[in-house]
Structure 1
Amino acid sequence: MHPLDELRHLVVRHAGGRGLRKVRVLDGVSVTCTDEPTELVPAMSEPSLAIVAQGVKRTVLNDVPYDYAAGQYLVVSVDLPVSGQALAASADEPFAVFSMALEPKALAPLLLETADSTTPQRFPGLATSTATPDLLDPVVRLLRLVDRPADRRVLESGCRREILWRLVTGEHGALVRQIGRAHGTAGHIARAIRRIRQEYAEPLRVADLAALAGMSPSMFHRHFRAVTSMTPIQYQKRIRLREARVLLATAAANVAEIGYRVGYESPSQFSREYRREFGVSPSHDTGRLVLRF
């Protein structure tokens, strides 16, 4: 069986059921299936790999769409506020995708084995490419282990290491290598991103973030925008609005209270920016389930 065909079979089998379902099959590894196209849903994307086994997925970052179909993958190097949807899916040919978290501590040892020791000055936060047979093979072998606990204890770590190696040495290896470099540009920007996510409701001071990243404010601004495609203030706004959407669906508070909670001083500004981001008013999402795709 062709690796892509087997990947599709394994993803669909492990996801099970009908409709939209996402199943965590191993630590940091999940499979997702849906029998019909989905709406564009906001989410936070962490450093990860996503390979489409069947159908077409769209990931949108700052209004720029990245479409990738069966046999293609998306790699993300830092936490990014994105939106995602399945564009092509049906009962006969369900959308199917494999996802795996990319952890710095797992990537760092592999950097010692690569010939490239340079650190790009500017790099994007995500990229798409075609999955080679060398990458698909260890992914398929990893998913085979889900139902084989005895084999998994011995073979899982080797499969994961091989997947990471194929990424590190692949087309977007420079991007992936940044995840494992704690002292590289990506590591510095990632620290600033974590600070924004942790303190999203507080006033944002670019000078403080630049100091945390060990850069001048102007250099930090350039690198931050190169990675995320947005300014620090735009990034914070998207984090605030996504947190607000979750609170509107789950918290016992009115729209104005939630706006204040996520950092807005004006209920009218909160409502205006919420509508601009999601296409509906905050009151429309009150008490509604927020789907994560």
Structure 2
Amino acid sequence: MEAARDLALSGASDGVTRLGLGEAVVLRQSHPTDIEGTLYRPLLCLILQGAKDVSAGAISVRCPAGHAIIVSHDLPVSSRITHASEDAPYVAFVLPIDLGLLRGFFDLVPDVPDGAEDERALTCHPAEPGLLDAVARFIALSRDPAAAPLLGPILLQEIHARLLLSAQGAILRRFLHREDPSRQVAQAIASIRASIDEPLSVSALAERTGMSRSSFHAHFKAVTGLTPGQYQKDIRLLEARRLIAEGKASISAVAFDVGYESPAHFSRDYSRKFGYSPREERTGRRNVLEDEVT
């Protein structure tokens, strides 16, 4: 881990450093942060130094250095960097997970029994040595513009393969199976996100995924830590935050755009979620962080 951390720290300043290989980035922060709501896409977040807490509804993980966070589904989360300083900043390697690439390994992955507890879309476990070594080589490769185009895709495959084979890769292995409930939940999430301004019908979502209403509700909460209704509300509020940051529409228009019938109700939910009102957001009394960064 020391090799990966030292490479990530080399010449870095606070913020997001893009490595130029796919969408991989290194994040650096010299101070602990407040709790922030954001949307995690399927990703690997390897904590190289410092620590952070992440939660999604009933799922909560504490992630110190040397641990890897895996997120398998689009997930609205609350996160906070808990350990960071000028002398020892928080440093993390973040790589979006390519689900298509994972599916290409389907016939090669050994049949590993996975328990029901592995349904969770957010997990954090100690990173295995092989994964740490692959990430260190990936970061080092990003400094070699001649070799990166040739070897980058190979290392991306290796990192994905190591995730699948790791102890915490159970949710990813489950995701490869067409009939696994985690796959059905992903389909339901895509439907919710595609129509956040429409009323939520749990029965329709359950029917679309081929489950009973009670079974769908149970699997959805097991995977995301949230009920379908809570998930939709969080997605609506995160999208509203993005629209408010753009500054192109009134607060009322944003409320209607994300499916609220009452701007007053929207404002109350927004304040409970983020700790400040939409108007305070719009007038610049809060700093808006980038929605897709861990």
Q: What is the TM-score normalised by the length of structure 1?
A: 0.91
Residue 124 of structure 1 corresponds to 120
1:116-195 aligned at under 5 Å gives the runs: 116=111, 123-195=119-191
Range with bigger deviation, 76-85 or 21-30: 21-30
Q: Distance in 1 between matches of 2:258 and 2:52?
A: 30
Contact 2:59 2:224 in 1 (8 A): no
1:99 to 94, 97, 100: 94
Letter of the 1:89 counterpart = A
Q: Percent identity between the aligned chains?
A: 35
Corresponding residue for residue 244 of structure 2: 248
Question: 1:63 and 1:187, CA in 2 relative to 1: closer, same or farther beyond 3 A?
Answer: closer
Q: Does 1:40 align with 2:38?
A: no
Secondary structure at the counterpart of residue 172 of structure 1 = helix
Is the contact made by 2:59 and 2:122 (CA closer than 8 Å) also made in structure 1? no
2:211 pairs with 211, 215, 235, which one?
A: 215
Question: Which structure 1 residue ranges, 5 or more long, are not aligned?
Answer: none
Which whole-Å deviations, capped at 9, do the CAs of 1:221-265 have from their partners, x for residues lacking one? 111111011111110000111111122222233322221121111
Query: How far apart are 1:117 and its partner, in Å?
Result: 6.6
- Describe the shift of the 1:91–1:35 C-alpha distance in structure 2 as closer, same or farther (beyond 3 A): same
What CA deviation, in whole Å up to 9, does each residue of 1:113-140 have, x standing for no partner? Answer: 2221767666111111001211101111
Measure how far apart 1:161 and its partner are: 2.1
Give the SS at the match of 2:146.
Answer: helix
Counterparts of 2:207 and 2:23, CA distance in 1: 32
- 2:68 is paired with a residue whose SS is strand
- Separation in 1 of the partners of 2:9 and 2:178? 36
Range 115-124 or range 54-63, more displaced: 115-124
CA contact (8 A) 1:21 1:34 kept: no
Residue 4 of structure 2: aligned partner: 7
Q: Letter of the aligned partner of 1:124 in structure 2?
A: R
Name the CA shift for 1:179/1:12 in 2 (closer, same or farther; >3 Å): farther
Matches of 2:277 and 2:23, distance apart in 1: 34
Amino acid of the structure 2 residue aligned with 1:291: L
Q: Do the aligned residues in 1 keep the contact of 2:56 with 2:226 (CA within 8 Å)?
A: no
Contact kept? 1:104, 1:181, Cα under 8 Å: no
Where 1:92 maps in the other structure, the secondary structure is coil
DSSP-derived class of the 1:90 partner: coil
Please, what is the CA RMSD of the aligned residues? 2.0
Q: 1:104 to 1:119 in 2, by over 3 A?
A: farther
Distance in structure 2 (CA, Å) of the matches to 1:226 and 1:63: 9
Q: Residues 80 and 228 of structure 1 are in contact (CA less than 8 Å); yes or no, is this contact kept in structure 2?
A: yes
Q: Alignment length, in residue pairs?
A: 288
Counterpart in the other structure of 2:109: 114
State the distance in 2 between where 1:139 and 1:117 align: 24
Which protein has greater RCO, CA pairs closer than 8 Å, 6+ apart? 2
User: 1:163-219: CA deviations, max 9, x gaps?
Assistant: 222221211222121343344322221111011111111111112211222222221
Code of the aligned partner of 1:133? P
Corresponding residue for residue 264 of structure 2: 268
Report the secondary structure of 2:109's partner residue: coil
Q: Secondary structure at the match of 1:115?
A: coil
Distance in 2 separating the partners of 1:10 and 1:137 = 12
Q: Is the 8 A contact 1:106 1:180 kept in 2?
A: no
- Structure 1 segments of 4 or more deviating over 4 A? 117-122
Alpha carbons 1:37, 1:86 under 8 Å: kept: yes
Letter in 1 for 2:87: D
Q: Check 1:168–1:144 CA distance in 2 against 1; reply closer, same or farther (3 A cut).
A: same
Residue 25 of structure 1 aligns to a residue whose secondary structure is: coil
Matching residue of 1:291: 289
1:248 and 1:287 in contact (8 A); partners too: no
Which residue number corresponds to residue 76 of structure 1? 71
**Counterpart amino acid of residue 290 in structure 1:** V
Distance 2:5 2:252 in 1: 45
Instruction: Report which stretch shifted further, 269-278 or 62-71.
Output: 62-71
